Amino acid sequence: MSARSKSSQRWLERQRRDPYVKQAQAQGYRSRAAYKLIEIDTKDRLLRPGMRVLDLGAAPGGWSQVVAARLGGRGQVIALDLLPMDPLPGVVFVQGDFTEDLLLERIDLVLDGELLDLVLSDMAPNVSGMRAVDQPRSIYLCELALDLATRVLQSGGHLVVKTFQGEGFDPLVRELRRCFERVVTRKPDASRANSRETYLVAKGFRPACRAVTKTGPGQGPVSVGA
């Protein structure tokens, strides 16, 4: 049996035994990741009816489902991913590569000059298994999400990003604290214990940070999925 086959079998076995996978199937969520956002929102009270929300790395749609339900038909949900996503009621989906300027122009068209209340990012790089490669790619995606947030968030808006503990994490937190009133770290129960992933919740966007534009070298292809 090949190493890839063994890895796939381990993944399938883990999925079969995962209580959050079973719960998501029973409750109709598209992914177990929905419970990460539910816990974050319960603690930080991010979502309310009437909000305008951008969900980065949305496919297959678990986070967008949670957002749409909590907005209760009042507000707007824009979902973005490199991968296709089946339609969801109350959600506008934009497919493409978040690292490309053309896609950002499409987002601007959907926003039609309006500012957002919340930007969510569950994006992650294609994992190579080499921390020296995966860590900077993860931080780069967070920087891109922050750059976009500084352009599209209204005063007092919020940002949630997934990242990994490691090199570049502390400078990212410092930059978030410069641009937001409050920044906290969350490790939801639905986040697997052996995963280095963590979520940074930044609340209270400072408009003075809007002029900041972060740049960096391209870090290769990314997979943006919840």
Q: Which residues are annotated as a binding site?
A: 61, 63, 81, 97, 122
How far apart are alpha carbons 19 and 138 in whole angstroms? 27
Out of 22, 162, 187, 214, the active site residue is: 162
DSSP 1: -
Residue set of the binding site for S-adenosyl-L-methionine: 61, 63, 81, 97, 122
Question: Using CB atoms within 10 A of its CB, is residue 158 exposed (0-12), middle (13-18) or buried (19+)?
Answer: buried
**131-156: string of b/e by CB count within 10 Å (b at 16+)?**
eeebbbbbbbbbbbbbbbbbbbbeee
Which among 114, 119, 131, 109 has a CA at the least distance from the CA of 57?
A: 119
Q: Active-site residue 162, yes or no?
A: yes
Active-site residues, by number, are 162
